[in-house]
Structure formats: structure tokens, C-alpha cells
Amino acid sequence: MYTDKVMEHFRNPRNMGEIPNADGVGTVGNPVCGDLMTIYIKVKDNKLEDVKFKTFGCGAAIATSSMITELAKGKTLDEAMKITRGDVADSLGGLPPIKMHCSNLAADGLHAAIQDYLKKKEAKQ
């Protein structure tokens, strides 16, 4: 059902945890399946210096959270905003159709964290 890459990210998630004093935080959820995901970002010179996550959900939700952190780390904010739901799923070698909503959460969570950062930055100016 799951690719080896999905299972690897589920069993050994990358960048799991919280970033104290994160520059941006995005929390998204899916009330249908109960998955809840929070993405934390640290920004330096308009680049994502660090990206971490905390996820409550199924194996696919954990794997997509892990993958989004790897895809986003080191990217500029503009580059990270262009990471799509499909990019997350493709990077994991695909997801079963019934689990595609999990990749939606990962991309949406990252985008929400970046938007949170930009709102905070704007408020300071």
C-alpha cells in the first residue's frame, strides 16, 4: 500500500519537534480523518534556515510532514511557497488515493507558517 520511501519517513521522521521562538507557525487539520499538523519555521536572509513539525495522525501524515521539511529547508520563502501538494506526494514515490489529503496538509501547513511569518514581519514595520 505504501512506498518504501513513505515507510522510511514514517519510521524515521526527519526534523520532528518544535522550534522555540519560531518565526512562523502553521497549524492545519483535517476534521474528517483527525490528522493535525503544525509546521514551525526559522527564517534567515529570506531563506528557511530550519523547518520542524509536530503531527498527530496516520503514517502518511507523519511521512508527508517529514518530507515537507526536507523539501523546504534551505529554500527561499518564494521557492517554498511554490511547493505543491503533488510535489510532496511525488517525493515520497506516491501515496494511495485515499491518503492524498495528507500531502495536502503538509503543503498547506508550510504555506500557513510562511504566511504567519510574513504577517508578523509586516506588523513590525
Give the three cell numbers for residue 35: 490528522
State which H helix or E strand residue 26 sits in. Answer: strand 24-30
- Confirm whether 58 is a catalytic residue: no
- Confirm whether 102 is a catalytic residue: yes
DSSP class of 43? E
Fold of 4-118: Sufe protein. Chain: A (3.90.1010)
Catalytic residue among 62, 89, 102, 105: 102
Residues 92 and 7: their CA atoms lie apart, in Å, by: 9
Verdict on whether the full-model pTM lies above 0.85:
yes
Q: What is the pLDDT of residues 34-80, one digit of tens each?
A: 889 999 999 999 999 999 999 998 899 999 999 999 999 999 999 99
- Domain locations in the chain? 4-118
Residues 35 and 49: their CA atoms lie apart, in Å, by: 26
The phi and psi torsions of 51 (rounded to 5 degrees) equal -140, 125
Catalytic residue among 16, 33, 36, 100: 33
To 10 degrees, the CA torsion angle through 31, 36, 42, 46? -30
**Quick one: pLDDT at residue 104?**
80
Band of pLDDT at residue 109, cut at 50, 70 and 90: very high
**Quick one: pLDDT at residue 51?**
98
**Quick one: pLDDT at residue 26?**
98
